[in-house]
Structure 1
């Protein structure tokens, strides 16, 4: 097995074009993560798929074309476990010699309950995945990108619409997504000397398992229940690929992609 430190000491490999570009996508077993992983692989990226469920990650890889499937590798990963995150990035380095992109996407909503009914355990579970997990993955990516030669890379955080405006009964999720904005800004600032760009995509109502309830009706800020429109997750994936393929001298700091008529502008 290749020694990671030796790989970095040798300077990694040139991040030229095509399959030499290396990405890590967390939460790649479903939803937005799956759509982004497939879009990157079809665009020529070598993609390391991370998530808790190996079977779901294998399903993602199987959905791509034969050529794209050959560019994807599965690493079962609990993003709340520092050792597992280190192993994830070690694997990506062994495969490609460098990491050019992290799509920091793994997340969970938690129970939709009023603040006084949210248990400490449920609060902690959401914070562990959405915030601590995002930090651990960003830290590991930053460490690799800072040391590899040529230096640099890009981190794209999935902030969610809730990074801007909350839904009713979403205290833990909204708090962690607002925190993601701070994580993005700090990474962007601290990454400047090392050619590490960091941006954030705030996504509203992409058609995934998490938004299935939108189609049957969901609580609104005025107390009513309403069906909300959704958009194809592939539309989000195209935006992430665009952000990812910019030269490191350019960065989309924040992007908002949402179903056009969802109740966001004027929510509440």
Structure 2
């Protein structure tokens, strides 16, 4: 399942915790070199320490909504490792789960800026390098969400941004086709991370009830990412959904 080629290079955003950290550890374990991105430098360093090949990790702290930072992230990664084979657009945020009329414009825009604009900036830079390098091509994996298909109550900023990720994924796959650039949207349901842990205690359902939801270990998501990353760029996995078997998604209840 795993690609053990030691020359493979990946950039992971949101690598300081959760799914990003789990993906970094899993890719490192099969020989990938990693450019680790995130806003929290100390936590990024912790991720690097947990990786199998510490000399093949690069910590580049910063904010993916900052265009100059994203440009520097790619430049420093390529300067250290020589090329880029994979980008995991994982950085994301959410807004308070409040009725829509209580949301502020800044709360809505912050979610869109991180989840969508950040992913666009990273994708744009990846295209520049994927097209120019030899051999040409690469793979992008976008962290979508179950919410890219079916929303939770009081989730308009997050759900809107994840629906937009679906559009970005399809455009990336189409525009990258001629250049051996593939793109996957991985939709994750209830991995036990800091962002999603509250759902295991009680999650608001569409019928107004609040019930605990089943969770899964982020390692299973990381293993899926390693598998997708191991495929040749001639193979496209456009959509991949992974979730806890007992999660209320199909029918939402």
TM-score bracket, normalised by the shorter chain, equals over 0.9
Displacement of 1:69 after TM fit? 2.1
Looking at structure 2, the residues matched to 249 and 81 of structure 1 have their Cα atoms a distance apart, in angstroms, of 32
- Give the 3-state SS of the residue equivalent to 2:6 in structure 1: helix
Q: Is it true that 1:62 corresponds to 2:49 in the alignment?
A: yes
3-state DSSP class of the match of 1:210?
coil
Return the offset for 1:33.
0.5
Per the alignment, residue 255 of structure 1 pairs with 240
Moved more, 55-64 or 121-130: 55-64
Residue 47 of structure 1 corresponds to 34
Counterpart for residue 228 of structure 1: 213
Matches within 5 A, 1:131-146: 131-146=116-131
Q: Which residue of 1 aligns with 2:13?
A: 26
Residues in 1 aligned to 2:51 and 2:135: alpha-carbon distance in whole angstroms? 30
TM-superposed deviation, 1:18: 2.1
Partner of 2:93: 108
From 143, 148, 151, give the equivalent of 1:166.
151
2:79 is the counterpart of 1:76: no
Map residues 171-210 of structure 1 onto 2, 5 A cutoff. Answer: 171-210=156-195
Q: TM-score, normalised by structure 1?
A: 0.92
5+ residue gaps in structure 1?
1-15
Other structure's SS at 2:196 match? helix
Runs of 4+ aligned residues of structure 1 deviating over 6 Å after TM superposition are: none
Give the Cα–Cα distance (whole angstroms) in 2 for the partners of residues 178 and 225 of structure 1. 25
**Distance of 1:253 and 1:101 partners within structure 2:** 15
2:25/2:51 contact within 8 Å kept: yes
Matched, 1:124 2:116: no
Aligned equivalents of 2:164, 2:108: Cα separation in 1: 14
Deviation at 1:17, TM superposition (A): 5.7
Number of residue pairs the alignment of both structures matches: 251
Q: Hey, what's the Cα distance between the residues in 2 that align with 1:254 and 1:215?
A: 26
Instruction: State the shift of 1:73 in Å.
Output: 1.3
Q: Distance in 2 between matches of 1:88 and 1:73?
A: 10
TM-superposed CA distance for 1:76, in Å, is 0.3
Residues in 2 aligned to 1:64 and 1:74: alpha-carbon distance in whole angstroms? 12
Query: Could you state the TM-score of these two structures normalised by the residue count of structure 2?
Result: 0.97
Structure 2 gap segments, 5+ residues each: none
Matched, 1:38 2:38: no
How far does the alpha carbon of each residue in 1:148-205 deviate from its partner, in whole angstroms, 9 at most, with x for none? Answer: 1110000000001111110011000000000000000000000011110111100000
Given that 2:24 and 2:51 are in contact with CA atoms closer than 8 Å, whether structure 1 keeps it comes out as no
Task: Find the counterpart in structure 1 of residue 250 from structure 2.
Answer: 265
